[in-house]
């Protein structure tokens, strides 16, 4: 497998340490006053704004409240992780941002638009826990799918898909069918597929929950490298505290159902992040903070 | 992980134009399976031949396979002449019955109301005994190909309808959600996901239809026709030509088997990801 040597893949930091956005709902948007050269994508409206969102589903015994008063802003180009007890509505939040669900109360804006409009404008992509590849298509054809649905010409599709596969380190596997690839490689194809539309927002729902620990760590590094290259904002749902800390600018801890924001932990580890940082003092301290918040939130 | 190990040789083989590591192993097992199938058939024929000789079974009860084979050779021009209309009817019925079933199943998946109102009618059609409805169809549709094609279609229709209704709905929900996030239209979801993922179901149904459409055509001819293998069965029975009767049965079975094998071959061409993959991990 074409595994880039760890540590070398995140590229050169453009502006030194990326400063985390201030915690909470009043997070400053573009050009937050830290005086650091922000990445190009940091201009423009925030990637996602949840404004006092509430959500309920029909349960067997009346409606079940899934989310209560969730307010959260993901800045343009920011990497935010959602973590919380099972069933706290993390995936529901992602589906609200994708426009797959509409909030019962409050509003959601994606890139300054209603989520469904952003989805139709093909400004956002989603990656699921299951790669959801079409088994009859080759890796290349799977990656081309979003462009095909958007009606882009074949030449553009081929070029964009090849570039995306190359970006996730799967050049040379264009003609492989999903069944011929390992679990980690399949998930990388799914990520390449999400990247072909060059989205400004990437919604990831436990994308590495089904791969083994070492593969997950490698994919974490690749994801950071890709994130840096594309400039997309990422809203990342995970169950792993350690993964959330390693990847994110901020970790948002949600309470048990009904989900609401319990704590926002800014992650001030320097970027680009290296495998050594995963096991550093600072990372452990941050993980401990997230764990504490999570334990309180779980009640 | 097994799939992981396969990925390496795949890369190394790619320049040589190998389709995939798993595909070639499936290819090697293919002749062996054929051989076993032939062996079983040969065994049954040998037992039959031996039993008829040892027990001195009279010809009118059960002729030996060798006698039937000789009769097929002797009657070949006659059998071929009567096989032609049967083939036309069977194929026509196959195309019509499966075509209508596929279109209906597609409508069912998109408009559940259609399913609720049409499915009972389909079941009612299924419960009508063919022997009873065939004379009616002869009255309604005349004495040509039409009533036989209708019977062959009717007999192919139901299994395909049931299978394809399942097949079009048997889509991974995560894939549907993905298509939704990609703003795919209903038509795109159908052509890019529902149709390809229903192909295994389609071929399961077509395998049933391939043999039953031949039987449907023969039954229809049996009840009212002056040509076709079904007619030949009746004629041979009335004339007490037992060997010819058996020869006709042999040719009918041969056609049904041929149709089945054609569907199997088509499946291997149209659903290659099935045979290539082996057990999903």
Inter-chain touch B182–A130, beta carbons under 8 Å: no
Inter-chain touch A179–B174, beta carbons under 8 Å: no
Kindly tell me if the per-residue pLDDT of B109 is higher than 70: yes
Q: Is A8 in the B-facing interface, judged by CB distances under 8 Å?
A: no
pTM above 0.80, yes or no: no
Q: What is the pLDDT of residue B30?
A: 67
Kindly tell me if the per-residue pLDDT of B8 is higher than 50: no
Predicted confidence (pLDDT) per residue in B243-262, tens digit: 999 999 999 999 999 999 99
| Structure ipTM | 0.77
Taking contacts as CB-CB distances below 8 angstroms, the residues of chain B near A182 are 1, 3-4, 7
Inter-chain touch B184–A120, beta carbons under 8 Å: no
For residue B162 the two structure tokens come to 């049931």
Characterize the bridge pairing of strands A105-110 and A261-266: unpaired
Taking contacts as CB-CB distances below 8 angstroms, the residues of chain A near B11 are 172-173
Distance from CA of B186 to the nearest CA of A (A): 11
Kindly tell me if the per-residue pLDDT of B263 is higher than 70: yes
Residue in chain B closest to A129 (alpha carbons) equals B174
Inter-chain touch A149–B21, beta carbons under 8 Å: no
Distance from CA of A220 to the nearest CA of B (A): 19
Distance from CA of B38 to the nearest CA of A (A): 32
CA dihedral (A3, A6, A8, A13) in degrees, to 10, reads 120
- Residue A36 burial by CB count (10 A; 0-12/13-18/19+): exposed, middle or buried? middle
Distance from CA of A256 to the nearest CA of B (A): 25
Q: Is A210 in the B-facing interface, judged by CB distances under 8 Å?
A: no
Nearest to A135 among B11, B277, B278 (CB): B277
Q: A21 or B103: whose pLDDT is higher?
A: B103
| DSSP assignments along A189-213, one per residue | HHHHHHHTT--SEEEEESTTTTS-H
Q: What is the pLDDT of residue A43?
A: 61
Q: At what angle do helices B195-223 and B145-169 cross, to 10 degrees?
A: 160
Inter-chain touch A98–B181, beta carbons under 8 Å: yes
Inter-chain touch A148–B192, beta carbons under 8 Å: yes
Inter-chain touch A180–B11, beta carbons under 8 Å: no
Q: Which residues contact B14 (CB under 8 A, 6 or more apart)?
A: A172, A175
Whether the CB-CB separation of A157 and A147 falls below 8 Å is answered with: yes
Q: What is the pLDDT of residue B274?
A: 67
Q: What is the pLDDT of residue A13?
A: 40
Q: B50 or B278: whose pLDDT is higher?
A: B50
**Cα distance between residue A58 and residue A65, in whole Å:** 9
Q: Is A128 in the B-facing interface, judged by CB distances under 8 Å?
A: yes
Q: B11 or A241: whose pLDDT is higher?
A: A241
Q: Is B280 helix (H, G, I), strand (E, B) or coil?
A: coil
Q: Is A214 in the B-facing interface, judged by CB distances under 8 Å?
A: no
Rounded to whole angstroms, what are the CA distances from B266 to A213, B192, B200, B242? 42, 20, 11, 36
Inter-chain touch A182–B4, beta carbons under 8 Å: yes
Q: Is A245 in the B-facing interface, judged by CB distances under 8 Å?
A: no
| A100 DSSP 8-state letter | S
Distance from CA of A185 to the nearest CA of B (A): 9
Those residues of chain A that have pLDDT short of 50 are: 1-41
Q: Is A58 helix (H, G, I), strand (E, B) or coil?
A: strand
Instruction: Tokens 């038509």: give the residue.
Output: B187
Inter-chain touch B1–A182, beta carbons under 8 Å: yes
Predicted confidence (pLDDT) per residue in B159-194, tens digit: 999 999 999 998 888 899 999 999 899 999 999 999
Percentage of chain B lying above the pLDDT 70 cut:
86
Inter-chain touch B183–A122, beta carbons under 8 Å: yes
Predicted confidence (pLDDT) per residue in B73-102, tens digit: 999 999 999 999 999 999 999 999 999 999
Rounded to whole angstroms, what are the CA distances from B163 to B160, B169, B187? 5, 10, 20
Whether the CB-CB separation of A141 and A196 falls below 8 Å is answered with: no
**Cα distance between residue A128 and residue A138, in whole Å:** 19
């Amino acid at each position: 497998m074409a595994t880039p040597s760890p540590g070398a893949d995140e590229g050169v930091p453009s502006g030194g340490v990326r400063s985390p956005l201030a915690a909470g709902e009043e997070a400053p948007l573009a050009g937050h006053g830290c005086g650091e050269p922000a990445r190009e994508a940091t201009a423009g409206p925030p990637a996602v704004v949840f404004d006092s969102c509430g959500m309920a589903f029909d349960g067997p015994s009346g409606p079940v409240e899934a989310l209560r008063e969730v307010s959260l802003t993901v800045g343009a180009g920011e990497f935010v992780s959602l973590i919380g007890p099972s069933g706290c509505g993390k995936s529901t939040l992602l589906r609200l941002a994708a426009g797959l669900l509409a909030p019962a109360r409050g509003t959601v804006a994606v890139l300054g638009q209603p989520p469904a409009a952003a989805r139709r404008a093909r400004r956002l992509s989603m990656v699921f826990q299951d790669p959801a590849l079409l088994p009859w298509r080759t890796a290349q054809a799977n990656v081309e799918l979003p462009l095909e649905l958007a009606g882009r010409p074949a030449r553009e599709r081929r070029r964009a898909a090849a570039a995306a596969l190359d970006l996730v380190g799967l050049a040379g596997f264009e003609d492989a069918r999903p069944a011929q690839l390992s679990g980690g490689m399949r998930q990388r194809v799914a990520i390449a597929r999400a990247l072909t539309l060059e989205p400004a927002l990437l919604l990831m729902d436990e994308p590495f929950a089904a791969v083994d620990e070492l593969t997950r760590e490698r994919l974490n590094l690749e994801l950071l490298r890709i994130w840096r290259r594309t400039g997309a904002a990422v809203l990342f749902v995970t169950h792993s505290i350690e993964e959330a800390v390693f990847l994110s600018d901020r970790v948002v801890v949600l309470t048990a159902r009904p989900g609401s924001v319990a704590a926002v932990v800014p992650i001030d580890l320097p970027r680009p992040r290296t495998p050594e940082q995963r096991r550093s003092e600072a990372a452990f301290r941050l993980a401990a903070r997230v764990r504490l918040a999570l334990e309180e939130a779980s009640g | 992980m097994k799939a992981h190990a396969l990925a390496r040789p795949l890369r190394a083989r790619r320049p040589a134009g190998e389709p995939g590591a798993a595909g070639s192993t499936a290819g090697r097992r293919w002749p062996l399976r054929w051989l076993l199938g032939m062996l079983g058939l040969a065994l049954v024929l040998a037992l039959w031949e031996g039993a008829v000789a040892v027990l001195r079974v009279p010809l009118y009860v059960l002729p030996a396979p060798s006698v039937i084979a000789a009769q097929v050779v002797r009657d070949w021009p006659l059998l071929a002449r009567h096989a032609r209309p049967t083939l036309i009817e069977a194929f026509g019925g196959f195309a019509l019955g499966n075509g209508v079933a596929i279109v209906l199943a597609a409508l069912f998946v998109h408009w559940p109301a259609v399913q609720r109102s049409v499915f009972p009618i389909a079941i009612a059609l299924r419960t009508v005994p063919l022997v009873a409805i065939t004379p009616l169809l002869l009255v309604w549709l005349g004495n040509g190909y039409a009533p036989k094609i209708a019977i062959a279609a009717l007999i192919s229709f139901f299994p395909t309808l049931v299978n394809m209704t399942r097949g079009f709905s048997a889509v991974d929900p995560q894939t549907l959600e993905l298509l939704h996030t990609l703003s795919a239209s209903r038509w795109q979801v159908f052509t890019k996901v529902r149709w390809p993922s229903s192909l295994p179901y389609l071929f399961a149904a077509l395998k049933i239809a391939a043999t039953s459409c031949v039987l449907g055509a023969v039954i229809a001819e049996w009840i009212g026709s002056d040509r076709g293998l079904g007619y030949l069965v009746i004629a041979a029975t009335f004339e007490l030509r037992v060997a010819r009767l058996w020869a006709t049965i042999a040719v009918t079975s041969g056609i049904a088997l041929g149709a089945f094998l054609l569907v199997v071959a088509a499946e291997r061409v149209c659903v290659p990801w099935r045979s290539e993959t082996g057990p999903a991990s």
